[in-house]
Amino acid sequence: MLSEYLLSPTHLKALSRPHAPFPPPSAASKQDFESRTAAIHFDSADQLASLPPIKTLKEEALQLSVSLKIEELTALRIVILEYQARETVALLRASTSHTADQAGGLFGSDNAANNAGQNNTPEEKKEKALQRRIAIYLQERRYVVKCATYLVRASFAKRNTWKPVGRRLVSELKTGESDALKEIIKAIRSRVVGNDAGAPQLIEDKASEDSAEGMETLFQWDKQVGPCLMALSQIAQPS
């Protein structure tokens, strides 16, 4: 059941810390990562969901873990999701290039190649992959916040299917290992009052770039730390 999934120790912990749902890497998380992936063996010849060899996945996951300061297994999941989404991205780009091709005349084939990313250098392809992984990371953070906010509101509703789950989350917010409410409010204050984004250095570096991508990164970061967290802190404060 979905309720059991949300109330599992891992996901309940994330929901009770929506401002920082993914724990930072540690010696224990690295050991867990190695033990869970040790038995996985496939190479590119296996064509497993268009994924590269497991060695490549692990190397890229470790790099992303360091860059975003998240546990290795979380980083691995994000890397896999980005690879699995590449076929969809390619289809969308092909559709766009087809439209451009119809209007492009003799230059249609050049437009198609550029839109599909075929002319990108290895470094450019690596940078685009990183941008897509950052987008997935930010999207997941944002939806943790939205889910936590909804469940807290459901806990106070007279009739709501998710009321029991919401009440369990509110209980965790008030009696968890750390004072989650104070941490949430502190995170909001540092962002709104202190103008401290609190983002991983990689995202702060991207956001500081004088480019459309930099502005988009900052916008996506602000979207997942703003209004939803504010609503959550106000609703869940102890009476």
Res 194: pLDDT: 57
* Average pLDDT taken over every residue of the chain: 78
Domain boundaries, the chain: 2-235
Instruction: Write the CB contacts of 23 (distance below 8 Å, at least 6 apart in sequence).
Output: 29, 70, 71
Q: What is the pTM of this model?
A: 0.75
Hey, what amino acid is at 46? D
Distances from the Cα of 204 to the Cα of 65, 73, 118, angstroms: 16, 23, 29
Res 225: pLDDT: 61
